[in-house]
Amino acid sequence: MRTHTGERPFSCSICSQTFLHSSSLKKHTVRHSVQRRHACSTCSLSFQDKESLSVHMLSHIGETPTSCEECGKRFKHSHTLRIHMRIHTGEKAFVCRRCGKGFSQSGNLSRHMRSHTGERPFSCKLCPKRFRRSDDLTLHMRVHADEKIHAPPRTEKQRASS
């Protein structure tokens, strides 16, 4: 259920990064471990080998070591490039069991499943509306922003009572 609510209750005591599962936090804390001999001088993360540190250092200078041969888009990690390549190959590795529609990324399948379940995990804090997608909530929030901009000026009596 936490996946749908966005709750991330497990927090790293060193860098405050939060996680959905305690197992993810445990894996993460190894990054801060003194057993790792290759430490980043910029952010204090440490790595077991020099190669991992070198790849990490590229993130601080904005360089990306891998790029897509199809479109030139650059990525910091090769696994991210592999996921991106599905756009060009048309591979749909994640298939909906209910309707058979395929998706190149698992997150897109998860979002699609809400169309079958009717789940609306993103709720407006200013009104009772709920949404299936976070970007729909973001768009909706503009309605409330416009209400504030176009609200009639308060009268002297209204200002005195507040």
Which stretches within the chain are classed as H helix? 2-5, 22-29, 50-61, 78-89, 106-117, 134-150, 156-161
d(CA 12, CA 25): 7
Report which residue type is found at 92: K
Question: Looking at the domain 1-32, which fold is it?
Answer: Double Stranded RNA Binding Domain (3.30.160)
At a CB cut-off of 8 Å and minimum separation 6, what does 2 contact?
8, 9, 20
User: What is the location of CATH 3.30.160.60 in the chain?
Assistant: 1-32
Per-residue pLDDT of the chain (162 residues; tens, 9 = 90+): 455 566 778 887 777 778 778 888 787 777 666 565 778 888 777 777 777 777 777 777 765 567 788 888 887 777 888 888 888 888 888 899 999 999 988 888 988 999 999 999 999 999 999 998 888 998 988 888 876 656 566 666 665 655
Q: What is the CA radius of gyration of the chain?
A: 23
Matching CATH number, 121-151, of 1.20.1070, 1.10.10, 3.40.50, 3.30.160: 3.30.160
Spatial contact of 10 and 18, defined as CB atoms under 8 Å apart: yes
